Amino acid sequence: MFDTLSDRLSATFKNLRGKGRLTDADIDATAREIRIALLEADVNLGVVKEFIAAVKERAKGAELTGALNPAQQVIKIVNEELVEILGGQTRVLRFAKRPPTVIMLAGLQGAGKTTLAGKLAKWLANQGHTPLLVAADLQRPNAVQQLTVVAKRAGVAWYAPEPGNGVGDPVAVARNSISIAQQKLHDVVIVDTAGRLGVDTELMQQAADIKAAVNPDEVLFVVDAMIGQDAVSTANAFAEGVGFDGVVLTKLDGDARGGAALSIARVTGQPIMFASSGEKLEDFDVFHPDRMASRILGMGDMLTLIEQAERTFDAEQSAKAAAKLSGRGDGEFGLGDFLDQMKAVRRMGPLSKIFGMLPGMTGDMKEQISGIDEKEIDRIEAIILSMTPAERENPKILNGSRRARIAAGSGTKVSDVNKLVERFFEARKMMTQLASGKMPGMPGMPGMGGPGAAGPKRQPKKQQGKKKRGKGVSGNPAKRAGGAGPKPKEEAVNPAAAFGMDPSQMDEKQLQQAMGDFELPADLQKMFKNR
């Protein structure tokens, strides 16, 4: 969603590289480019003016030091101001002192409230809670059925006493759900209310009545991040009519400009608490302003990436794989281990999304990431699954006939199997070096070719060209009598003696026999006879 904004900001900061200091003209030009980038991203005009004023004031202030170059100084300021616009600190849910905690969802129709209710319920269940989904949206066709399906997919309980489709009292359903949750020991109640097409007075009053009936601990306003400034105006109207405690952004994986996400927290004064970025129930997480600002500026989001890896990777399985790579495990790291790790990575989400969290993924790199073919991973998985357990454990046994069988079983070509095996061996070699602390060209690593590696030492320049001085005779008579002084020159050893052919140690018969055994040419025979 923020790709265009991120690219524009990256290009702006690139223009500052190479400058020794920031002048007023540099600051004004940079502020102008940032203003254009934010306006093109559909950020609220008032927010843009406030943001630019703060950046210019800080850039011209006394906070600039010689520790950072101009580009780094501006990036630091812009990053901190973006964090402020997005809400400052991470806001977490407030839980009731006496369960159940009641969470009420509200927003425009089509914002994805019902799906988000399932995502929130699944997220809470993973945190150890027992949520209850309540179908209080009795206006939209099939809203009750949708919530039932979503609850089943999320593996949580639901309460839907009315059929919906315009039938039933949503206020009574919401009120009765609290007693049901207390009876069945649910510690969280999530009330899904009816959406509205705009500032609808009737539905606004209905939302106010539901809020009064259940007295929610949190009222979350669900916003489609793709609708732009309409989200801000609707959020303001809802804040005045009903009130809410936090914002949930949906469809952050869309291709819209994303100005609502950068505007709504500052305009409404309420923090963004959660973000949804996909269709799966797992595509949901707490919103961190500092991490989102880091993504927008192309600096990645390593903390979120690490958290996702911790949730999806099996710690014991990863430890065994790491032990094999470092040579401390049972056997070598095989294709079966590689397949397990690859499946864990895929559980984190699309590869383009994962790589997008790495720092520096902007411009051309971002285009290459977006072009990743997920089907290629499917083909690799099919090839490995077509192998026997012994072949996965030891790919060195894969001969021609085995590779032909694997290619036929996986629906690929033999060349595809060959490429996979070759790349695996190369990757395993590199990972083994990393796991054992060895890298080609690193200092102090024997045989690695880097500085400090074992090998002949070069003499310092001052010593080059100087002849070593011979060892002189000691002035001490006792030492001279003890044999101190130049060592006698050793006799030269014939190299042929290493092969048992030293002519100086052979009689004529032995010499003739040796030359006959080796069938030496006449010239060499003459040379041996002369020795």
Domain ranges of the chain: 3-85, 101-299, 312-435, 502-530
Give 60-95 as a DSSP string.
TSTT--TTS-HHHHHHHHHHHHHHHHTTSS---PPP
What's residue 405's pLDDT?
93
Burial of 45 (0-12, 13-18, 19+ CB in 10 A): exposed
Average pLDDT, the chain: 76
What is the DSSP code (8-state) at residue 245? Answer: S
What's residue 515's pLDDT?
52
* Phi (first) and psi of residue 364, to 5 degrees: -60, -35
Q: Binding site: which residues?
A: 107-114, 192-196, 250-253
- pLDDT tens for 292-341 read 887 777 666 566 666 667 666 666 767 777 777 666 666 778 888 888 87
Distance CA 470, CA 474 (A): 12
Fold observed for domain 101-299: Rossmann fold (3.40.50)
Question: What average pLDDT does this structure show over 131-145?
Answer: 91
Question: What average pLDDT does this structure show over 36-52?
Answer: 84
What's residue 202's pLDDT?
77
What is the DSSP code (8-state) at residue 466? Answer: P
What's residue 101's pLDDT?
94
Does residue 2 carry a pLDDT above 70?
A: no
Distance CA 352, CA 367 (A): 10
Instruction: Show the CA angle centred on residue 378, arms to residues 375 and 381, nearest 5°.
Output: 155
N- to C-terminal Cα separation, the chain: 88
How many Cβ atoms sit within 10 Å of the Cβ of residue 197?
9
Does residue 489 carry a pLDDT above 70?
A: no
Question: What average pLDDT does this structure show over 175-197?
Answer: 90
**Which of 186, 183, 176 lies closest to 151 in space, CA to CA?**
186
CATH class of 3-85: mainly alpha
318 is written with which tokens?
A: 């990863």
What percent of the chain is predicted at pLDDT more than 70? 65
Does residue 176 carry a pLDDT above 50?
A: yes
Q: Binding site for GTP: which residues?
A: 107-114, 192-196, 250-253
- pLDDT tens for 220-261 read 988 887 776 667 777 787 888 788 888 888 887 665 566 766
What is the DSSP code (8-state) at residue 451? Answer: T
**Which of 222, 260, 228 lies closest to 244 in space, CA to CA?**
222
User: Which three-class secondary structure state does DSSP give residue 452?
Assistant: coil
208 is written with which tokens?
A: 């106010």
Higher local confidence (pLDDT), 523 or 5: 5
Distance CA 37, CA 258 (A): 12
How many Cβ atoms sit within 10 Å of the Cβ of residue 515?
18
Fold observed for domain 312-435: 434 Repressor (Amino-terminal Domain) (1.10.260)
For residues 175, 176, 179 and 185, what is the CA-based torsion angle, rounded to 10 degrees?
Answer: -100
- pLDDT band (50, 70, 90) for residue 51: confident
What's residue 57's pLDDT?
84
Q: Can 3-85 and 312-435 be said to share one CATH topology?
A: no
Higher local confidence (pLDDT), 134 or 43: 134
